[in-house]
Structures are given as C-alpha cells and as structure tokens.
A and B are shown apart, each in its own frame.
Chain A
Amino acid sequence: MCNTCGCNVTSGNRHLLFTAPPQKLVTAVSVLSNLLKHNDEQAELNRAKFDANGVLAINLMSSPGSGKTALLEATIRQLKDKISIAVIEGDLETENDAERIRAQGVPAYQITTGTACHLDAHLIQHALEHLDLAKIDLLFIENVGNLVCPASFDLGHHRNITLLSVTEGDDKPAKYPVMFRAADLMLITKTDLLPYLDDFSTEKAERCQRQLASHSPVLTLSSRSGEGLAGWLQWLEQEVGDHKARIQRQQTLRPQIQPDGNSLHIQNPETHFRPIKQVG
C-alpha cells in the first residue's frame, strides 16, 4: 500500500476520496445591455431637460490646444446678440477657459475633472444645476481635450463636433477612428497657419474622414482671421432653428454616439427619435 500509485484506494474507502463537493446551481442570465447603461440613463435625463427648455446642446471634442475655446470666443462675439448662448467647460484643472468665456459676456460653468480624461453625463447633470436653461438657446459643452475617451460618453447632448487643427496632421481621422466617426461635423481649424505648413492637405483630411464611412460635413475656418467663420455660423443658426422645430414636433436628436452595430445586438434597438419626457 503506498501513496504514489493509488493502490491504497479500495472499494471500501473510494467514496471518501471522490465525493465531489455539492454542486451549486449556476444560472446563466442573458443581458445584452450597453456597458455604459448607468451613464446613458443619466444622459437621457439630461437630454429631456435640454429639450424641455428648448436648448440645443453641442459637444465640442478635439486634442488639447486645437482651438476649441478660441472658436467659442469668436462664435459668441458674432452670435450673442441673436442667440442666447452658455458654455460648460471641461478641464483637468483651472478656471481659465470659463473666465475667457465670461469675458465675452455669456454664462460659463467650469468642470474640473481632476484626473478624469473625459466628461460624463453625471458631471453634466451637476453642472446644469448652475445654469438657467430656460434662458438659453444654445449650450456648448467643451469636453476635456482628448481624442480618445470623450467619444464613448453620451452627455445628453444633440450634436458632436470634432475639431482638427492644421498643425496636428491631416491623417488624424485615420489615427483616431473612434473619435472622428462620432463627429456630426468636422471642423478644420487654424487655417491661417496653412501657408506655413507644407504637409497638411484639407482634401486628405476629408478623404480620411470619408474612409470612416462618415457623411459629416467638413468645414474649414480660422477663429483668429475670421476666414470661413461665416459657413460655421450659418451651420449653427440652422441647427438651432431645426432643433426648435424638432421640439415642436415632440422629437429630439441623438449624436453619433449610439453605435449602429451595437443597436443590432440589443433586444430593443434604440431609435433616433423619442417622445419628450418632462423632468422635475
């Protein structure tokens, strides 16, 4: 009898060795829900709040330093007498951007995220406590400068705008497809610098964008020289008007965040329009 080959196992003691621990019952639950469900539920509440107040909310995304705040300054200067504008600023630290916006005479609320690299629907919910939506037609949300994470989070806004400044290179859409695919409008900024650059082609940037199967309009402008601003302002005014009409029809609009492929796998595919719910 030894402990090596198993000859010590007899018909008398075998049951002591091979009795399996009692099997627990394992249930498999099919879920098929979006991983960001918690965020998306808050985003829906934010959107309902915007819609109830007739506000068009636009999310600005880009690399740090591509001219989001400068674009807002130029836009507010041109439009503030026609359209009531407010801005939510997202940065890791400082109140600098909100101060620049307030200097233009419109309300701004600064979110400082500390270390978080993106805004989410809950941060926007808290920021909305500091703004009087009833007095606003157009709310810009300037996301944290980052070409990766902000694309994945629905904030409850209606449109995504992605900026690409000419010093960043014309192949940015190919390098950051998730971000550029989310764009409802792509803005090529700082075009006043084009004469100093021999390696940026706006045609190539647009071609990279089209290869993402994106139909988004592409506009070029310089906030500094004012070149191309007219087209952008026209797009904005059209959007504000269209959104008011949409709300009259009890409809709303979602940004390009809800992925097509995703909805094919979810049991109740999400639609682009839904009845407007009154919130609190």
Chain B
Amino acid sequence: MHELSLCEDLMNQVTALAKEHQAEKVVRIVVRIGPLSGIEARLLESAFTISRAGTLAEDAELVTEEQPVCVLCNVCGTESAACVNQLICASCGSCDTKLLSGDELILARVELENPD
C-alpha cells in the first residue's frame, strides 16, 4: 500500500503545473495505470481524497484510465492481449515477448481553471 506516497508525488507535480500556468484551481487530473505498474486504481483514488485536501486540487476529479496488458511477440511478430502473469504470445505461445502496454504509471493530463 504505497498509493498514498505515490499520490503525494502526484500532487507535487500537479500543483507545480497549476502554479506554472497561474491557474486558480485544478479541475481534473487524468492518470493512466496498467495492472503491471503495481498500483491499484481504487486505492489511488482513495489516497487522492486525502492528498488533495488543502491544495489547489481540492475539488478536482481524478480520472484513472486503466490500460490493457498487450505484448508484441519477438518470434512471430503478433501483437496480442495477455494476462498479467502469462505474458506470452497468444498466437505461437512464445515467452519471448516485449510488453507494449500494461505497466503505465503516467500523469497524462491536467485540466486547470484560470482566473478571468
């Protein structure tokens, strides 16, 4: 359960961006999370309700976009969906694959409200 410390890092980045853009407040924060990142979206959301208190993001909405687990086979070149503990090619069954998505832990977008 390290979602709270992660959330503090997130809040630092978001409030720095808000200041940089002279925003009055943060309206929406969009993060992309893959199941192989080790972060639970649900836990991040509850940590967010604690971390946002007293910041420019106090009324912000946190949107988590969960990313699918997807691999590219180094043997046959097929791109396929995979399971978190079976990162194997769906076409030829090889374990020699490269992860295309599924381990994201990304702050994708911040929506800021500017003064009039």
Task: Give chain A's interface residues, CB within 8 Å of chain B.
Answer: 22, 24-39, 116-118, 120, 148-149, 151-153, 173-175, 177-179, 181, 208, 210-213, 259-262, 264-266
Beta-carbon contact of B85 and A262 below 8 Å: no
Task: Give chain B's interface residues, CB within 8 Å of chain A.
Answer: 1-2, 5-6, 9-10, 12-13, 17, 21, 23-24, 27, 31-32, 34, 36-39, 67, 70-71, 84-88, 95-116
Q: A26-B27, A151-B38, A212-B87 are in contact. Are A259 and B114 (CB under 8 A)?
A: no
Beta-carbon contact of A26 and B36 below 8 Å: no
Q: In the complex, what distance in Å separates the CA atom of A181 from the CA atom of B86?
A: 11
24 pairs of residues in contact across A and B, judged by CB atoms under 8 Å? A22-B116, A25-B114, A25-B116, A26-B112, A27-B112, A29-B110, A33-B13, A35-B6, A35-B105, A35-B107, A37-B9, A152-B37, A174-B85, A178-B38, A208-B85, A211-B95, A213-B87, A213-B97, A259-B99, A259-B103, A262-B105, A262-B106, A264-B101, A266-B106
Q: A213-B96, A262-B103 are in contact. Are A38 and B12 (CB under 8 A)?
A: yes
Q: In the complex, what distance in Å separates the CA atom of A260 from the CA atom of B88?
A: 16
Q: A25-B113, A213-B99 are in contact. Are A32 and B106 (CB under 8 A)?
A: yes
Main secondary structure of the interface of B (DSSP, over half): mixed
Q: A35-B10, A38-B9, A178-B36 are in contact. Are A265 and B106 (CB under 8 A)?
A: yes
Beta-carbon contact of A39 and B9 below 8 Å: yes
CB-CB < 8 A to A177: which residues of B?
Answer: 36, 84-85, 87
Beta-carbon contact of A149 and B2 below 8 Å: yes
Q: A152-B105, A261-B103 are in contact. Are A36 and B38 (CB under 8 A)?
A: no
| Closest B residue by C-beta to A174 | B85
